[in-house]
Amino acid sequence: MSTVPDDLRYSKEHEWVRLAGDTATIGITHFAQDQLGDVVFVELPKQGSTVRQYASLGVVESVKAASDVYAPLSGEVIERNVKVIESPELVNKSPYQDGWLIKVRLADKGELEKLLSPDDYRSHIGETAPSGG
């Protein structure tokens, strides 16, 4: 059973978003890291670059798979998680906390409408019962 915290928003491509003012923290979900297996490499955009909703922002790799991470929202990258680049296993150990990927200054709050609620995401991954964060 994958954890799907109730205080986050989600994308169909298995990214999560945590909002604080106009800053969005982005990572990949517990479900995504579980599917991928042990993460061995993370590639993230540079600070100051911009990401576009639904466009690839970077890559997470396991030994036998490479998976694009798609930006759930558009905006400027204000911080990237250097710890996760150094220790990719954080994506597995703590997908919603220490394993976050980038922080983005929102360009368009309207895009939030297109994200999934925790319940929608649970049914998207075929899990109905809320399991909390």
**Residues lying near another protein in the complex (CB under 8 A):** 38, 40-41, 43, 61-66, 88-89
Residue whose CB is less far from another protein, 63 or 78: 63
Nearest-approach distance from CB 67 to another protein, in angstroms: 9
CB of 131 to another protein, least distance (A): 23
Give the nearest distance from C-beta 63 to another protein in angstroms: 5
Which C-beta is closer to another protein: that of 60 or that of 106? 60
Q: Which is nearer to another protein, 59 or 78 (CB)?
A: 59
Distances (CA, A) of 16 to 3, 8, 64, 87, 96: 12, 6, 23, 20, 8
Q: What is the enclosing helix (H) or strand (E) of 36?
A: helix 30-36
d(CA 126, CA 39): 23
**How many other CB atoms are there within 10 angstroms of residue 45's CB atom?**
19
